[in-house]
Amino acid sequence: MTELPAPYEPIRGLHPYLDVYGSHPWAMPEGWWRRTEARIADVMAEAARTGLTAGAREMHAMYRRDAPAAAWPVWLTWRMLPSAAPIWAGTNPDLGLELAQPWLDPDNPEARVSADSPRLYRWESLCWPLAFFRHTAFSGNRSWRVAALEQTREIIAIYREVPMLRQRGDALVTLFDHVRGDRSLLRRHERETPFAIERLWGELAGPDYRALLPELGGPVSDLAWAVQGFDAVHERLTAGADWIDADRVIATIAVIDDLGPLAGRSEIALALGADRVARIDRIRAELSDGFERDAWWRESSAWRRENVLRGEIDAARAWAWLAWYVEAAIGRICVGTTRRLLQTPPEREALELLAATPVAAPNRVVSWLSGLPAPVPRPHAAAEGDDEDEPIAPGAGFAPAAPVEIGDPMAELDALIGLDEVKEQVALLVAEQRAAELRREVGMDVAPRARHMVFTGSPGTAKTTVARLIARIFAQLGYLEKGHLVETSRAGLVAKWIGHTAIKTEETFRRALGGVLFIDEAYALAPEDPGRDTGPEAISTLLKLMEDHRDDVIVVVAGYPDEMRRFLDSNPGLASRFPTHIAFPDYDADELVRIFELQAGHAGFRLAPGVTDRVRALIPAERRRDFGNGRWARNLFEAATAAQALRITGSLTADGPDPSEDAIRTLLPDDLD
């Protein structure tokens, strides 16, 4: 029996919770509502000081005549911050209206809060973050333009504390701050038309930001993003199932909304491709004759409900959200209206059924079944050994990689203690890459060469550090676009459910594009007795992705030498994909002492006579296989500073003198006992 997953527990209780399809429910903490109202009131007070007072009613008739203009983003920002076409659910699906109540006209029906859930929203203008700015731009008052930017930014900063709003909220706050911090950009916002500024924001929001805020790229980019996600989640849910394909769903949208042929819309052709649009139009023409909306809603609702009850809750909710998103995006392009493909909310009904259903008592048939031969695995049977993982939410992990400061990574590598042979091998790789570029410049044919690597060695031998430096080195050489490192392990690649591992592996791999994917303890993907283990599925997926993106990423697999040899032998295609092997030796005693000294120096400590001798004496004469090497030295330093802290504060009294600066900065041999 499918049980309610832990992330959905908030819907089981009696406490208020927020919910947006495509994420998980969030139980509102005690006091959150009052704090949010108080912070919004502070923004309103600041708005009054700028002179930007009445005017909200000009933007929407549901506001009171005296409502301040800054009340406008209170409602709109909350509604649209999850996406350009969100599905709000939970106990407060109209929370934006609730927060804006002090400024709404109680006699206007649109101002009345509804408890109906879920609620499907969209906004006619894709560049909704600039809606308040756009209104003030037509006033002719430049200072009001800047104030509108400031106040919208502050409202978003308040709302981004909600987990489901954090990623997009952080991205928007960063964009607003970029504009505020650039005088030339701010002048353009003061002087240029709203339409020019919307185009400017599309340019400011590069590919990484548009992964989170696709609407800023315009209607073509927005629709392409939505269809890409919808195709992926639809394929997942229909794998092995007898149900319609994604194109038929889009054609159904066109029929329900009476859109007519899509081929005449250049934006749709650009987003989907002319051939696909032609196929969708053919299906639309077939469906138009005798199409029964009620039959469609019954069939699709039953299919969506089935997906929830068989455990595909995240994917089913993502399908509903992205189907609505595609409908809203096409509707904006075609006629500016939609009639809603999603007529009923079976996901909520099914979730409520799960929430109201207690966990089943043990059944004695289970123990009887355990004595039978293992069944043939089904597409969605649970994989063994990965109970800590959850089904993957489509679209997860698309946050843009943090910018990497390239600096001088070769100098940093040279500065590392020990690792002479490692440094020589990295220098050889750099020389090969530079030579290849020189040969290309003189017209020589240079065969592409994989740069994937195997790192072998004990824990704490700087494998991750060197991988991070290699990412920056190859970015500096122009081989990698970004130079960031994505560090993962078996847990980041293998899912709990059979059929989900490939999706989880691809999500992690794509986050590493333009940089290095570092897989620690990679041998865990190839257990000696795999049985029903899905680690081999992750390996096969990695091999295909490495082939498809051979020039976009470097994959580094790491672990103990013997285990890594077994890992490379576990799949016929593995060893040939990793031409470079780098062995990381254990640190000798002198090197461990130098690491301890380096840690102390960086932290501002002075070592008293005898400390380094004490460090050397503590190094085990016979090291276990899991000895931490550099990590051992760092842990020893942290233990010594904790002991020193206790020593210098243990004799403090209320009226006694504080320790001297020399005492505070000095580590003694006794601190290492």
Q: What is the pLDDT of residues 599-619, one digit of tens each?
A: 899 889 999 999 999 999 998
If you ran DSSP here, which 8-state letter would residue 549 be given?
A: T
Same domain, 269 and 143: no
Res 385 pLDDT > 50: no
Q: What residues make up the domain containing 661?
A: 589-672
The mean-pLDDT minimum among 118-122, 136-140, 608-612 falls in 136-140
Q: What is the pLDDT of residue 563?
A: 92
- Is residue 362 in a domain? no
Pair 143, 272 in one domain: no
In a domain, 558, yes or no: yes
Residue written as tokens 């048939």?
365
pLDDT value of residue 349: 52
Closest CA to 227 of 167, 170, 267, 287: 267
CATH number for the domain harbouring residue 627: 1.10.8.60
Q: What local confidence, expressed as pLDDT, does residue 17 receive?
A: 92
| 333 band by pLDDT with thresholds 50, 70 and 90 | confident
**256 and 169, same structural domain?**
no
Q: Choose among 304, 295, 301, 298: nearest CA to 237.
A: 304
Name the more confident of 390 and 20.
20
Per the domain annotation, does 361 fall within a domain? Answer: no
Same domain, yes or no: 210 and 243 = no
Domain boundary among 331, 356, 381: 356
What band does 300 get if pLDDT is binned at 50, 70 and 90? confident
Of 353-357, 512-516, 592-596, the one with minimum mean pLDDT is 353-357
**Same domain (yes/no): 600, 657:** yes
Residue 318 inside a domain? The answer is yes
43 falls within a domain: yes
Query: Nearest 5°: CA angle at 135, between 132 and 141?
Result: 105
Task: Supply the pLDDT for residue 251.
Answer: 92
Residue 440 is part of a domain; what is its CATH number? Answer: 3.40.50.300
Grade residue 487 by pLDDT with cuts at 50, 70 and 90: very high
Domain boundary among 356, 387, 421: 356
- Measured between alpha carbons, how far is residue 184 from residues 107, 192, 507 in Å? 45, 12, 38
Same domain, 206 and 257: no
Instruction: From 94, 101, 91, 146, select the one nearest 120 (Cα to Cα).
Output: 94
pLDDT over 70 at 352, yes or no? no
In the predicted structure, residue 169 carries a pLDDT above the cut 60:
yes
**Nearest by Cα to 82 from 22, 8, 10, 24:** 22
Same domain, 34 and 57: yes
Q: Compute the CA torsion angle 437, 439, 444, 447 (nearest 10 deg).
A: -50
Position 369 confidence tier, pLDDT thresholds 50, 70, 90: very low
592 burial (CB, 10 Å; 0-12 / 13-18 / 19+) is: buried
CA 295 vs CA 255, 301, 306, 397, 630: distances in Å: 14, 10, 17, 36, 66
Q: Are residues 416 and 338 in the same domain?
A: no
Out of 201-215, 430-444, 648-662, least confident range: 648-662
In a domain? residue 371: no
Identity of the amino acid at 10: P
Torsion (CA) 219, 205, 399, 4 in degrees, nearest 10: -40
The reply to whether 73 and 178 lie within a common domain is yes
- And the tokens for 227? 């269809």
Final residue before a domain boundary, out of 188, 217, 246: 217
**Residue 202 shares a structural domain with residue 232:** no
pLDDT at 155: 93
Tokens, residue 343: 């007529």
Residue 383: inside a domain, yes or no?
A: no
Per-chain mean pLDDT for the chain: 82
Q: How confident is the model at residue 401 (pLDDT cuts 50, 70, 90)?
A: low
As a whole number, mean pLDDT of residues 637-659 equals 76
Does residue 334 form part of some domain? Answer: yes
Say how far apart CA 384 and CA 555 lie, in whole Å.
Answer: 26
Segment 31-80, tens digit of pLDDT: 898 999 999 998 888 877 776 665 666 767 787 887 778 888 888 899 99
Burial class (CB in 10 A: 0-12, 13-18, 19+), 140: exposed
Could you tell me if 91 and 17 are in contact, meaning their C-beta atoms sit under 8 angstroms apart?
A: yes
Residues 552 and 496 in one domain: yes
Q: Are residues 338 and 420 in the same domain?
A: no
Residue 328 pLDDT > 80, yes or no? yes
- Number of structural domains (the chain) is 4
